Structure 1
Amino acid sequence: MLRAQNLCWHKNEKAILEHIQFELHPGECLGLIGPNGSGKSSLLKILAFLEPPTSGELWFQGQTIPKLAPLEIRRKIAIAFQDALLLNTSVWENIAIGLKIRSVPKSEIRERVNYWLQQFGIVHLAKQPARSLSGGEAQRVSLARALVLNPNVLFLDEPFSALDAPTKESLRTDLVKIFHSTQVTTVIVSHDFEDIERLTQRALILIQGQIVADAEPATLLATPQTPEVDQFLSYWRNTRRLNSISDQSSS
């Protein structure tokens, strides 16, 4: 579906990403994780055609993409950010806006918007002003607005970072079901390894702008490939160990 070949990106003469190489397969859910400033969101922007790479090649469905991706290619992807970025109109109109821009027939718009309202459990919010929503509700609208487009690739940039723990868990559970039913090819950036474990089949760890590990999340946690990966994942490994000890003590 997507292939990065020796991608590099420099900003203000500083190397942000260096020699990025990987493939994303149809139906796969891929996680990007790493320390703050490692280049995760920068890579996502390049993969989503929001920024051109300084050098290297990006392939989409077997086609080399020029620095300015053509409209017909950009319309095959959808992106949802940490900030929901909702328009000052109703929830229904926010979800429908992309379909209207694409001149989709009104009857089809109605059907698709209503479907995603149901999938995210926000039918009761359809007529409500989007700016009046809670953080969790707004993120559900943002995700529905992306998925209603039936994208070939869905990009999610830190979709849970602004949510409290119960809201995050509820939304993660819904996304697991949605990814299973739609098989939409997805790239998720997160700073939380639990998001990557729950939602992805494979993860790339970025450190200082380079991919230093590429494996299934469980494999990364159990057998870190390098000392720097081991150090980065130590927080989650230690948390699991402490929780296990606490559970044993309670029983």
Structure 2
Amino acid sequence: MNILQLKDVKVQANQQTLLNVPDFALVSGDILGVIGPNGAGKSTLLKVLSFLQAPTVGTVYYKGEEKEVQTFSLEMRRRFAVAMQQSLLFDSTVYHNVAIGLKLRKEPKKEINKKVTYWLDMFNISHLAKKNAKTLSGGEAQRVNLARALILEPEVIFLDEPFSALDFPTKAQLIQDFKEIMKQTNTTTFFVSHDLIEIKQLTRSLCVMLNGEVKQYGKTNKVIDAPNKEVAAFLEKWKDFYKI
């Protein structure tokens, strides 16, 4: 089932078209990777799908139901979670940072403690619970960031290059742990990356964007092994950067 779908969507600003997507669907339970050069429209696509930005024209569907894009509600946004490259943690304990979303939703204290304990354990950061988040290493901070997003039990988690600032050993371990967590939770995932190694390790499907348009979309291995002409030219140009 398509959990999110775009029809004839365009995003325009300053007389420029930032996104032009005639038809795009995010399948429930999929882990979709999105690649493309800077300015390709990856982050704009993420914002539109996560209801953070309304398109200039077009229709957004949630589970087949058309949504009024100019009045995206808090209720709809709460169905999703977003984790960015910068963790942007509060100057407080790790426990508080992971719990903050549940506190804002006024969940019972006992339930909050149960969920925080679970997610700290899932990301192997239980020992950091009382530590100030501002003192964490990059890898630790990103684990807190991801736990803070997933504790909300989102229907879709949107990730915008969450591993790009990490050193290789830290990144490799976090990707392995995150892959296992995604397998257990079956959370639908939209994952923007500049690293095809990450894409190959984590994703089931792959979307390649160029100039604000989706140029190829399919199973990850098929797109990488059998790209169309435009995508092949892009991958060849960027092969060193993407470590193919």
Give the TM-score band, short-chain normalised: over 0.9
**2:5 aligns with one of 3, 6, 14:** 3
What is aligned with 1:174?
Answer: 177
Number of paired residues? 239
* Alignment of structure 1 residues 1-251 onto 2, 5 Å: 1-66=3-68, 67-226=70-229, 228-234=230-236, 235=239, 239-240=243-244
CA distance in 1, matches of 2:165, 2:125: 19
Shifted more, 54-63 versus 92-101: the winner is 54-63
* 183 and 18 in structure 1: CA distance in 2 versus 1, 3 angstrom threshold: same
CA distance in 2, matches of 1:102, 1:146: 14
CA contact (8 A) 2:84 2:159 kept: yes
C-alpha offsets along residues 77-125 of structure 1, whole Å, 9 cap, x if unaligned? 1110000011111100000000011111111100111101001010011
Flag structure 2 segments of 5+ consecutive residues without an equivalent.
none
Aligned AA (2:34): L
Tell me the TM-score normalised to structure 2 length.
0.94
CA contact (8 A) 1:32 1:204 kept: yes
C-alpha offsets along residues 12-65 of structure 1, whole Å, 9 cap, x if unaligned? 221111134211121111111111110101110111111110111111122222
C-alpha offsets along residues 112-168 of structure 1, whole Å, 9 cap, x if unaligned? 111010010100110000111111111000000000000011100111111111111
CA distance in 2, matches of 1:12, 1:141: 37
CA distance in 2, matches of 1:165, 1:220: 25
CA contact (8 A) 2:196 2:243 kept: no
CA distance in 2, matches of 1:233, 1:163: 23
Aligned AA (1:170): Q
CA contact (8 A) 1:6 1:21 kept: yes
- Amino-acid identity (%): 45
Q: Which runs of 4+ in 1 moved over 3 A?
A: 236-240
CA-atom RMSD, angstroms?
1.4
Partner of 2:194, secondary structure, is: coil
